[in-house]
Amino acid sequence: MAEKISPGMQQYLDIKKDYPDAFLLFRMGDFYELFYEDAVNAAQILELTLTSRNKNSAQPIPMAGVPHHAATEYIDKLVNLGYKVAVAEQMEDPKKAVGIVKRAVTQVITPGTTIDHANAVDNNFLVAIEQQEQRFALSYMDLSTGEFKVTVLQDFSAVVGEIASLKAREVVIGFLLDESQKKILDKQMNLLLSEQLDLPETLQMEHGDLSAIEEQVALKLLAYVKRTQMRDLSHLQEVEHYEIKDFLQMDFATKTSLELTVNKRENKKHGTLYWLLDETKTAMGTRMLRTWIERPLISEVAIAKRMAIVQLFLDHFFERSDLIEALKGVYDLERLASRVSFGKALPVDFLQLAHSLSNVPAIKNILELLPQEQMKQLIERLDALPELADLIHQSISEEASRTITEGGIIKTGYNPQLDKYREALENGTSWIAQLEATEKARTGISTLRIDYNRKDGYYFHITQSQLDSVPEHFFRKATLKNSERFGSQELTEIEEIMLEAREKSSILEYELFMSVRDQTEQYISRLQALAKTIAEIDCLQSLAVVAEKQGYVRPVLTENSRHVEIKAGRHAVVEAVMGAQEYVPNDIALPEQTDIQLITGPNMSGKSTYMRQFALTVIMAQIGSFVPAESAALPIFDAIFTRIGASDNLISGESTFMVEMSEANHAIQKATSRSLIIFDELGRGTATYDGMALAQAIIEYVHEHIGAKTLFATHYHELTELDQTLEHLDNVHVATLEQNGNVTFLHKITEGPADKSYGIHVAKIAGLPSDLLERADLILQKLENKPLPAKKVEAQEEQLSLFDIDENYSEIIDKLKDLNVDNMTAREALNFLWELKDAL
């Protein structure tokens, strides 16, 4: 016979049924409890003590709990590990409840919907995807800032790339994934996949002109958020359509290989372009800068507008210094607005909000000192919200605690009734002191004092030795080991006045605080607009600071030219890490008629750095930043495609060579004549002849069919002959200095092809044994006697015969026929091969 379940546990099971995929935190008094499988798993993950309910029962229920005041810490840990957490609160005062206390889930916290994450600077994007026929729609939202956007993408690989770029941790699925798609999102990218939702008929959404599929995916994302958060989210911005093609297009592989926002070794910010350019002073500015780096501009007008302001900040050092100080006083307005909307704002949040708003007039005044038309728009958008600032200054006390239930939040003078209660409390305190002095004199008990605790209220404290002097109008309240507690009619009357004032003032203060919060909510859209403006100002001053510190110049950008000329260019990040004195600058020249630069030279000589340097210079310029060079003239590129470095995609079973070919194909299919292609050692993942044939074919295809500006680094020296047949290809190489058998890499790009690869020299630097290196040198000398032709091959109309046999070769053919291959050692076979070669 099954054991009877208590009403409380039945309530738990009924709620849990609706949230099977989440840990359910069930509020019971001062603890959130977990039961059954949730308790077992949470105890292991959170290192909690696992106990049980109904211990003496035949089937005790596993139980684990966390204190309610520390719940956020435990919730964050679960969410950061990719779990969902449903929080069930007590919906009534347990003292007033009849029977079981009513409980209900008030919020479901997931990796994509948490707003109180540890790293408060970064965005936390929640993504939804939808499919109609062959088209995909993607919508993303950051609940902590209110950002809400949607776009259409042409294939699933673009969807995956956008999710990766957004660093999303959770995806709401609007269609049935096939196995390969599920494997990529779930296993490969380690994303939480949340279920498709039925759209409520009543759900409405403000938006501009969206396509049907965009509206559908945005509504599904909104429905998911409303279902999990269970509150009106007034801070969510109107959904905004964006197009990938409106920005410099870079797929995730390109962003990763160029280390734009995270480095490849530790997946951290250090050593990236983001790290280098980040001199921002506000959290909003830091987030916006990351977005700028991920999405550089392609409009000459928009880029020029940013650069003009950077130039202005560079030219006005003192004003910029004052601006930086003013920006330091601005807190994260976007996150503060979301906390107000979520009903999580505390007194300290309002004080930070008021402090931030008080800095806006100073920022505005500084910008007005700068003599430039470009500043006009920024100045006009700086809305100091004086009404909101006044409201907070008048209502919230600077000494307010972080809690909203213990009083001390509202300033004296803001509400007359609250002032009266406080006056009663202050008078009560003086009345208590006066009564204590009176009774001490009347009774002659010198140690008599009036104390207070929650259980006994106010009482006279009298020690055991003074009990004989207790007057008749005292009545006993409690007996302790060495003393007793007494009350009196007069003390009781004072206590009632004070307790009433304390209770009513506490309730009134809470109500007044809620009123301030409600009034602040009306300003959320203006706060968000102000946050964007301050973020933009912050990003532009940051670019100016970096340009000054690193000695960057303003590039000349043109939409109507494809001419590239960079004088003494540097790799921005490498230079910052190693120091300007050590870095060897290089010119990069790709005239109008030159599309492809074929780069040869030894490993470790700087070919990859040179190519990355070019890509980063382009990205910096199209962000609106100045660039590391003596001068720079650049076209505006529409996309950057890279294939740099070896990277197996073993999770999806793709080898280095497969990844190489996939990325090369992506570039060939998507690139235009206004794109930048960077290929580093393409074809090395397969056999030499295969690799060289593919490399040559790709170069020819880009040359004949695409015409994109291309840097192609290779070890196949035979490819350097292509400049004789390809009109728009130039050879360059990394210069070396060879003296007395020692080789020095000069890291300098010069015209023409390299004459050697110096691979054995690199092996020497790596410390390989000298006898091994001598043997390699000997083998190399023999192999170099048989060059591999790599001229442009014309298509043949007929199949050529495999051999044109000359009678002079008949002796060699007879030798080959007589050869017993099965009985030859490897050395004998190699020697025989050399004999044949010598004979030929």
Q: Can you say whether the dihedral through the CA atoms of 641, 647, 648, 650 is positive or negative?
A: negative
Which string of b and e fits 498-509 if b means at least 16 CB within 10 Å? beebbeebbebb
SS3 category, 211: coil
DSSP letters, 35-57, are: EHHHHHHHHHHHTPPPEEESTTS
DSSP letters, 54-68, are: STTSSSPEEEEEEEG
Judge whether 604 is annotated as a binding position.
Answer: yes
Which string of b and e fits 227-262 if b means at least 16 CB within 10 Å? ebbeeebebbbebebeebeebbbbbebbbbbbbbbb
Structure tokens of 729?
A: 């290809």
Q: Can you say whether the dihedral through the CA atoms of 539, 545, 550, 556 is positive or negative?
A: positive
Judge whether 645 is annotated as a binding position.
Answer: no
SS3 category, 254: helix
Question: Residue 387 and residue 51: Cα distance in Å, rounded?
Answer: 54
SS3 category, 22: strand
Question: Residue 112 and residue 127: Cα distance in Å, rounded?
Answer: 8
Question: Residue 44 and residue 49: Cα distance in Å, rounded?
Answer: 9
Judge whether 792 is annotated as a binding position.
Answer: no
Question: Residue 78 and residue 83: Cα distance in Å, rounded?
Answer: 5
CA distances from 385 to 357, 388, 390, 519, 726 (A): 7, 6, 9, 13, 63
Judge whether 606 is annotated as a binding position.
Answer: yes
Question: Residue 34 and residue 66: Cα distance in Å, rounded?
Answer: 9
Judge whether 605 is annotated as a binding position.
Answer: yes
Identify the CA nearest to 550 among candidates 620, 636, 622, 623. 620
Q: Give residue 793's identity as a one-letter amino acid code.
A: V
Judge whether 740 is annotated as a binding position.
Answer: no
Contacts for 101 with CB less than 8 Å, ≥ 6 apart: 90, 91, 92, 94
Task: Decide if 647 contacts 659 (C-beta within 8 A).
Answer: yes
Task: Decide if 64 contacts 33 (C-beta within 8 A).
Answer: yes
Distance of CA 489 to the CA centre of its chain: 65
SS3 category, 28: strand
Which string of b and e fits 411-433 if b means at least 16 CB within 10 Å? beebbeebeebbebbeebeebbe
Question: Residue 101 and residue 108: Cα distance in Å, rounded?
Answer: 21
Judge whether 601 is annotated as a binding position.
Answer: yes
Judge whether 603 is annotated as a binding position.
Answer: yes
* Annotated binding-site members: 601-608
Task: Give the residue numbers of the binding site for ATP.
Answer: 601-608
